[in-house]
A and B are shown apart, each in its own frame.
Chain A
Amino acid sequence: MDAKRQPVQADDSPEAQFVSFEIGADTFLIPIERVVEFRIWSEPTAVPHTPEYVRGIVNIRGEIVPIYDVAARMGRTHTQPTDRHVVVIVRGEDSRSIGLVVDSVTDIVNVRTSAMAPMPKIEGGKATPFMSGVVFIDSKILGVTDIDRLVQETFPEGEHQTYLAPPDAAGSR
């Protein structure tokens, strides 16, 4: 990594805390204030007519919470989660909650704001639209998951939920 990218340890910049989780070989971060709890994976109730990366709904203390498969959303081949997978329940800006299925949760990290940066523009690489920024830790660049974006995607707003296909509807599955 370019030496210039090494974060300067400006010691009085405030710290932020993140939870780090892994999917495959990659590590991602979630701002800690967005994390509600962790759960062991258990099979959710599947909901029809929803995209593949929405695995279904679960009951958390009497409330219905949708479960979102981040790996599937990023286009990776998704394996069937087992009880060794973890579901991170997160809360969006609007207080709606979703659960994210991840391989494992690894750590809680403190990061100085001086080490945080907005999403760099990388052409055709692994940068996904689901990252709201990046963080430099120990000479690694880690993506910060854009929770609000994920929440928004799970709860589509507006009229595109019509259940009538346009007239061509010839079994387009």
Chain B
Amino acid sequence: MGEPSAVGRLELPGTGDLVAMRDLKAALLERLEGGQSVHLDATHVAEPSAALIQLIEAAATSFAARDLTVSLVSPSDALCAAYEDLGLFGALMTRIAVDL
């Protein structure tokens, strides 16, 4: 799809229910195939789930394999707490976008 454009932005849904996860995966795949890094706006994530975090992390790995990044922008406290409770605090630290 040509040159990697400016970083794409996706807003994460408020809850991590499985239906929303399918949509999110599709959106992420689209960006991946388009060669576009993604900023995930996590300000409004109120009820995160393991499914959501798993998806973000899997995406991060797959993007990294193509030298692209998946970053979290202003993660809500709920999302941070969820990362921590899943034992993925370190991953969170890596995931948070620093240059905004």
Q: Do chains A and B touch in the complex (CB under 8 A)?
A: no
A residues bordering B, Cβ < 8 Å? none
